């Protein structure tokens, strides 16, 4: 369903909204409240990213998110933890270059669930061309302060280069603001992944509005 939806350029999948626990905490926002706001705004592709929680906490939160975004409503991706995807009934997992091997993650997930992998250059993206992933992420496109150990920026050229070697779904990430979203899409990204620019402040109406703004920009 994901492959078909993204290939058809379904507008709601052009925004890959990352619900990052730490960024929410910094804005005094509860991840559940943000999830409800995003659902209302039309967000349909969400990654839950939590570098703070232990397993129990992570599972509890993930199950709450699944209850907010029902299976037939939205795609939910769990960052870093393919081993916990089944337990929270997420749609898939996202792994980095250093997390684990793609094949190992695929074995944990089974054939049906989604698997995405981060890459930081066109060469790394090329290596995923024949691997068993559903999408490849390329970034950081621009400078970001959200990820402490971020790789060097690849710029819009990096997105273009990754696009040139990657026929499958391509997600661009890193430092992408409202004003850049369309350019990133024009550089070849099927979907634009955003953390901090989706959370302008602690006000939930502002959160809803910003998500709507991104979706409108990416149509
Ligand atoms: N991977 C590469 S950049 C990044 C991650 C998780 C952080 C993106 O966050 P922001 O706030 O949209 O720059
Ligand atoms: Mg990771």
Mean pLDDT computed over every residue of the chain: 96
> What's the whole-model pTM score?
0.97
Which ligand sits closest to the CA of 194?
A: 1
DSSP category for residue 49: E
Evaluate: CB of 61 within 6 angstroms of ligand 1: no
H/E stretch holding 38 reads: helix 31-41
pLDDT in tens, 85-129: 999 999 999 999 988 899 999 999 999 999 999 999 999 999 999
Quick check: 55 pLDDT over 90? yes
C-beta 116 within 6 A of ligand 1 = no
CB under 8 A, 24+ apart: contacts of 114-117: 114/2, 114/75, 114/77, 115/82, 116/77, 116/92, 116/171
The string of pLDDT tens digits covering residues 163-210 is 999 999 999 999 999 999 999 999 999 999 999 999 999 999 999 999
Give distance in angstroms: CA of 154 to centre of ligand 2: 18
Residue 158 Cβ contacting ligand 1 at under 6 Å: no
Minimal-distance CA residue to ligand 1 atom 3: 174
Instruction: Assess contact for 82 and 95: CB atoms under 8 A.
Output: yes
């Amino acid at each position: 369903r994901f492959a078909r939806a993204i290939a058809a350029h379904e507008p709601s999948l052009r925004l890959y909204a990352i619900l990052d626990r730490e960024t929410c905490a910094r804005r005094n926002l509860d991840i559940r409240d943000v999830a409800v706001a995003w659902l209302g705004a039309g967000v349909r592709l969400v990654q839950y990213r939590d570098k703070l929680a232990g397993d129990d906490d992570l599972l509890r939160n993930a199950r709450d998110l699944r209850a907010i975004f029902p299976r037939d409503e939205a795609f939910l991706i769990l960052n870093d933890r393919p081993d916990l995807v089944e337990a929270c009934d997420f749609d898939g997992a996202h792994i980095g270059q250093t997390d684990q091997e793609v094949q190992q993650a695929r074995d944990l997930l089974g054939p049906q669930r989604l698997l995405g992998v981060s890459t930081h250059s066109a060469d790394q993206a090329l290596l995923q061309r024949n691997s068993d992933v559903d999408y490849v992420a390329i970034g950081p496109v621009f400078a970001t302060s959200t990820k402490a150990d971020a790789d060097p920026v690849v710029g819009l050229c990096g997105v273009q280069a990754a696009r040139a070697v990657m026929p499958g779904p391509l997600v661009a990430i890193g430092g992408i603001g409202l004003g850049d979203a369309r350019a990133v899409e024009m550089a070849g990204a099927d979907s634009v992944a955003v953390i901090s620019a989706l959370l302008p402040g602690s006000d939930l109406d502002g959160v809803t509005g910003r998500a709507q703004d991104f979706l409108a920009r990416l149509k």
